[in-house]
Chain A
Amino acid sequence: MRFDTIIIGGGLAGLVCGIKLQKAGQKCAIISAGQSAMHFSSGAFDLLGRLPDGTEVKEPLKAISSLPAEHPYSIIGAEKVAEYAAQAKGFFADCGVKVTGDASRNSWRITPTGERKPSWLTIGDFTPLAAKEEKIGNKALIVNILGYLDFNTKFLADSFEKQGTECRIVALKLEEMERLRKNPSEMRSTNIARVMDREGIWETAVSQIRTLLKDEDVIVLPAVFGLKDGSVVEKISETLGKKTIFVATMPPSVPGIRTQMTLKAEFEKAGGRFFLGDTVIESKADENGIIKSISTVNFNDIRMEADNFVLATGSFFSKGLIATPEKVCEPVFGIDLTYREGRENWFNTNFWEKQNYISFGAKVDETLNASIAGKKIVNLYAIGSVIGGTNSLYEGCGGGTAIVTALAAADRILEKK
């Protein structure tokens, strides 16, 4: 089966790259071994929150020039990063994913435990804060669904109270939810969202909130609404006539899953082929190292051929990188990685400290091409968190790296034609 470009990995990076190429007229395939990390999305994409030395970043675009040379942003170049960052908002809007935010200045998102983290683009369900210390209101009504354990109301109240917001915690008892409560281990965000999506249910929830409401000026709800519809928060706010904010829950993430489904549908609508639950097992290259074809578990002897291959397999979680006792490797093509020899250099025994292994990953050049045994492979690109040179968790740049490198690699591929 022949394609122009085959993308391995169906997460944020793979989908963004695939959509851009497919819409530009290419025939693309995305192969994904299971569902992606978008299912654990915080509801926001970060561009850059901290420099490697720990300095807090307020203006990400200005800070890029301070990054070390091996950082993917430095490799692409500050000017280009700004250009792709500017494109991103429109890109998501065209796909039907509403995002707010600005690359020139970080806003802040509230985590499920009430922490505040820097954010670039925030999915429409959430209200980004302009400053880290911003008060969400004078009095907040924190509303949970009875029996739902993945929304830490007390943590949230503690954190809001630090900024001087008085909090009251209540729980909604909805008849329709009681069936779910029979099985506490399945009282999860997505299952609640499925019930909430039924006709008239969120309206019932809202009328209960109205009876519970005293003099609060802001209502805080878990993001368990709208598996298909990203505008429920606005509807609730309108109905109540009060400021309403959603806070991200522990996984799975309803807005993240919706975003993933929307992007996948956009890719398929444009004619792309998405293969879920398949794994690449080997590749064939010609004498110059150009990758010609791959085979997968499901395709087996029917080879998948393409002019270009994009590796978007992610980091250790999705097995884009694999650590053995002796080494770290990339399992699909065996490409060259940036990493420190010696297992003792991989991690810090203090779990909360910066962990070096997170910055391991593909070595890429300015065209985002990967190399094998020191030799550049001109039709193989690496994008997203499989790329090394950045501790995305520490620096707060995972989402940005995925989006920016995906758009950049798509451009490189299209320029070649």
Chain B
Amino acid sequence: MKMQEKNISANNFEQCIKCTVCTVYCPVVPVNPLYPGPKQAGPDGERLRLKKGLFFDNTLKYCLNCKRCEVACPSGVRIGDIIQSARIKYNTDSPKLRDMILANTDFMGTVVTKVAPVANFALGLKPTKVVMDAVLKVDKHRTFPKYTTKTFESWYKKNVKAFQDSFKRHVSYFHGCYVNYNYPQLGKDLVSVMNALGYGVHLLENEKCCGTALIANCMIDKAKKNAEHNIASIRKSVYERQMPVIGASSSCNFTIRDEYPHLLGVDNSDVRDHIELCTRFIYRLIDEGKVKLVFKKDYKAKIAYHTPCHMERLGWGIFSTELIRMIPGVDLTILDSNCCGIAGTYGFKKENYEVSQAIGKPLFEQIERLKPDFVACDCETCKWQIEMSTSKEVKNPISILAEALDLVATSEANK
């Protein structure tokens, strides 16, 4: 018998056996009938697009890029990547002004933090929201995260940089735009925990936005430029300074590790294993018996953990939850695995607002039923969405550790 010896096709979609499991787990399909669903938009459509680009369907923009289809696929098809790559390759619409504002998180951050008090005040005003809704199509229900008057980087340089070299071991920290421009406290928490564990924390050389939002808005040239720059800085950190890179945002981490090579064609193979979430980094240290955690005696909290979609795809939720479980006095519930609906900039767009809230509804209801003291989550945009849509505050696991640890005793134990 004559046969082809091996499957030599570079097209990952050929692994699809049309089993339809992906369509069961797509959060968009049940709430937005305009979206053709992951199977049709992904492997089925790709076969046609390969023939002619005119088969590209604009409704692929409704994909959240949550990657839940990929987690569910029993055949290893990178469905989400196929859909996003098609958008990158065939989409001819140029991004709107609104999309540029939402996607350029670092440019906006640099400009707005300079006038933060005025901007925060103005962005919170109803007339501003109405104008933004009408003119820019940024939904009026959304509240922009507050901008800080002092960026994380400037706080770091002024307050802690000087003594980071005094530690025996070191890591670089990819803080991301949110920590730098909106919520430096998360970065401060990370520095204090890592310092207590005996690690000096350093900044990367001129960190740029990871590009998650740029990719989502098809601003690929800029995303690629940022990616190349970041990988060069990470390479320097890993190979010249011998410092692995950690972060506290699941989406930044996921983008740098997986979207750079899969969607932007930026090779990160030599450094990919040295970039990870801080909870995974800390878990490994504990697992190998290299560090000790000393907790406060009186810490008590009822916590509900939400697994962000990109965390689900990374498969790393376990490291965050196992760390939280180590805290005595914590009652932890893992929430059902549901997308919160925000998907970065997606939910900010007026045309997506209703879909976004409908997707998140089961999650919001479960949180309210459970009545935790607060929600734990490793993603900043999930945090905005859950805080806007429920009565609960959301904390990053590293901030929970910072609260629960006896930092002085932990430092002593890890000297």
Q: Which residues of B contact A52 (CB under 8 A)?
A: none
Taking a contact as CB atoms closer than 8 A, the residue among B17, B30, B71 that contacts A194 in the complex is B30
A185 with B36, Cβ < 8 A, contacts A39-B19, A194-B30, A277-B315 known: yes
Taking a contact as CB atoms closer than 8 A, the residue among B21, B273, B318 that contacts A35 in the complex is B21
CA distance A179 to B354 in the complex (A): 15
With an 8 Å Cβ cutoff, the count of chain B residues facing the other chain is 39
Whether A34 pairs with B29 at a CB distance below 8 angstroms is no
A190 with B24, Cβ < 8 A, contacts A183-B34, A278-B315, A302-B284 known: yes
Whether B24 pairs with A252 at a CB distance below 8 angstroms is yes
Q: Which residues of A contact B316 (CB under 8 A)?
A: 298
Whether B74 pairs with A33 at a CB distance below 8 angstroms is yes
CA distance A1 to B23 in the complex (A): 33
Whether A186 pairs with B71 at a CB distance below 8 angstroms is no
**Chain A interface size range:** 35 or more
Whether A186 pairs with B29 at a CB distance below 8 angstroms is yes
CB of A221 to closest CB in B, whole Å: 20
Whether B73 pairs with A34 at a CB distance below 8 angstroms is yes
Whether B273 pairs with A179 at a CB distance below 8 angstroms is no
Chain A: which residue is nearest B71 at the CB level?
A277
* Per-residue B-contact encoding for A276-307, CB less than 8 Å = 1, 0 else: 11110000000000000000111111100000
Determine whether A97 belongs to the interface, using a CB cutoff of 8 Å to chain B.
Answer: no
CA distance A188 to B36 in the complex (A): 12
A180 with B33, Cβ < 8 A, contacts A1-B287, A252-B24, A276-B71 known: yes
Whether B315 pairs with A302 at a CB distance below 8 angstroms is no
Whether A257 pairs with B287 at a CB distance below 8 angstroms is no
Determine whether B35 belongs to the interface, using a CB cutoff of 8 Å to chain A.
Answer: yes
Whether B33 pairs with A179 at a CB distance below 8 angstroms is yes
Whether A182 pairs with B34 at a CB distance below 8 angstroms is yes
Q: Which label, helix, strand, loop or mixed, suits the secondary structure of the A interface? A: loop
CA distance A36 to B19 in the complex (A): 11
Among residues 278 to 300 in chain B, which have CB atoms less than 8 Å away from a CB atom of chain A? 280, 283-284, 287
Chain A: which residue is nearest B312 at the CB level?
A277
Taking a contact as CB atoms closer than 8 A, the residue among B21, B70, B314 that contacts A298 in the complex is B314
Chain B: which residue is nearest A300 at the CB level?
B273
* Per-residue B-contact encoding for A171-214, CB less than 8 Å = 1, 0 else: 00000000111110110101100110000000000000000000
A325 with B73, Cβ < 8 A, contacts A34-B21, A277-B313 known: no
Determine whether B3 belongs to the interface, using a CB cutoff of 8 Å to chain A.
Answer: yes
Taking a contact as CB atoms closer than 8 A, the residue among B23, B76, B334 that contacts A186 in the complex is B23
Chain B: which residue is nearest A180 at the CB level?
B33
Whether B21 pairs with A39 at a CB distance below 8 angstroms is yes
Q: Which residues of B contact A299 (CB under 8 A)?
A: 315
Determine whether B40 belongs to the interface, using a CB cutoff of 8 Å to chain A.
Answer: yes
CA distance A25 to B19 in the complex (A): 36
Whether A317 pairs with B287 at a CB distance below 8 angstroms is no
CB of A227 to closest CB in B, whole Å: 9
Taking a contact as CB atoms closer than 8 A, the residue among B74, B76, B312, B322 that contacts A36 in the complex is B74
Q: Which residues of B contact A185 (CB under 8 A)?
A: 36-37, 39-40
* Per-residue A-contact encoding for B176-195, CB less than 8 Å = 1, 0 else: 00000000000000000000
Determine whether A268 belongs to the interface, using a CB cutoff of 8 Å to chain B.
Answer: yes
A182 with B33, Cβ < 8 A, contacts A190-B23, A300-B273 known: yes
Whether B36 pairs with A183 at a CB distance below 8 angstroms is yes
Whether B34 pairs with A298 at a CB distance below 8 angstroms is no
Among residues 254 to 274 in chain A, which have CB atoms less than 8 Å away from a CB atom of chain B? 257, 268, 273
Instruction: List 19 contacting pairs A-B, 8 Å CB cutoff, sorted by A.
Output: A1-B287, A34-B74, A34-B75, A35-B21, A35-B25, A179-B33, A186-B23, A188-B23, A188-B24, A190-B23, A190-B24, A194-B30, A195-B30, A252-B21, A268-B334, A299-B315, A301-B284, A302-B284, A325-B5
Q: Which 6 A-B pairs have the closest CB atoms?
A: A298-B315, A34-B74, A277-B71, A182-B33, A186-B37, A183-B33
Instruction: List 12 additional A-B contacts (Cβ < 8 Å) besides A34-B21, A277-B70.
Output: A34-B73, A39-B21, A182-B34, A190-B23, A191-B30, A276-B71, A276-B312, A277-B71, A277-B312, A277-B313, A302-B283, A319-B74
